[in-house]
Amino acid sequence: MSESSPVGRLGLVSVLSCVLVSSACGTARETKQSLGPSTDSMLVRHCRTIQASAVAFGIPTVTVGGVVAAEQTLNIGAIDRVQDAVIRRLLKAKSSEWWTKWLVSNEALEGRFAKFRVIGNKWPERLVLTTYVGSIGPAQLTPRTVLRACRSVPTPTTHPCRGGVKEVLSTALDDDGALKLAAVVLAFEALQWKRLYDEDIRGDIGLLGSLYSAGGDYYRQRYGAKAGLHKYNPFGNWLSDHRNEIALATACNR
């Protein structure tokens, strides 16, 4: 595979992180951990962005800050940081046009395997290698999910979602920007649920967190989702258990 190809070297570190084919990299490893000092500090520093994003998309502040706090506390490790460094280097080296072609190529590939992913929560190695389905940045957003959400959720003209593929992925690597994009993904999952089950779930931090971490399509297949049936995965359980700590850190009164 050539380096200039849209599916070239991008995301080779994902192979180590996701064991080649698993898309469950965001699964919480330990649900008893509390909010650490560095995560608490990050939420306090960015509380204004968290609150503004929550208001803009109708998602509770504690949920917007919470999903990023959960990723920071439970999931992000050395491999993720190396992967982010790879993405940053490629974003610097490749043009906006290259990234647009990268998206088109990967969306076509995704279409061939989407039904298998819903059943087994796995993507083929060929797609994993592109990092299109890998998690990046402080909010551990997959390019697939965040770009899909950006197309589906109405956003203000100044929002990062209004940029191109390269701009959105660059934003996902930034603390402040990742929070803005996380709110869009949460709004997307809430809208999908509303359309399917005619139920507003924006007030359920555990369910929204579960959808955020697993992806709504896989979650619905895995848990047999329906209106009124709110099952939490480990990520959602952690959010539910620590919502008071998160609320304090995102209150902007420190």
Give percent of the chain above pLDDT 90.
Answer: 62
Contact 74, 35 (CB under 8 A): no
Rg (CA), the chain: 17
pLDDT of residue 33: 60
pLDDT tens digits, residue range 59-75?
A: 999 999 999 999 999 98
Which residue pairs, CB below 8 angstroms and at least 24 apart, start in 207-211? 207/231, 207/232, 207/236, 208/59, 208/63, 208/67, 208/236, 209/63, 209/66, 209/67, 209/70, 209/235, 209/236, 209/238, 209/239, 209/240, 210/235, 210/236
* Overall average pLDDT of the 192-215 stretch: 95
Q: For all residues of the chain together, what is the average pLDDT?
A: 85
User: Which pTM does this prediction carry?
Assistant: 0.85
Written as one letter, the residue type at 83 is Q
pLDDT of residue 217: 87
Residue 180 three-state SS? helix
When pLDDT is cut at 50, 70 and 90, the band that residue 27 belongs to is very low
Q: Which of 218, 27, 45 is nearest to 122 (CA)?
A: 218
Poorest-confidence range of 16-20, 66-70, 87-91? 16-20
Contact 63, 205 (CB under 8 A): yes
pLDDT of 52 strictly over 80: yes
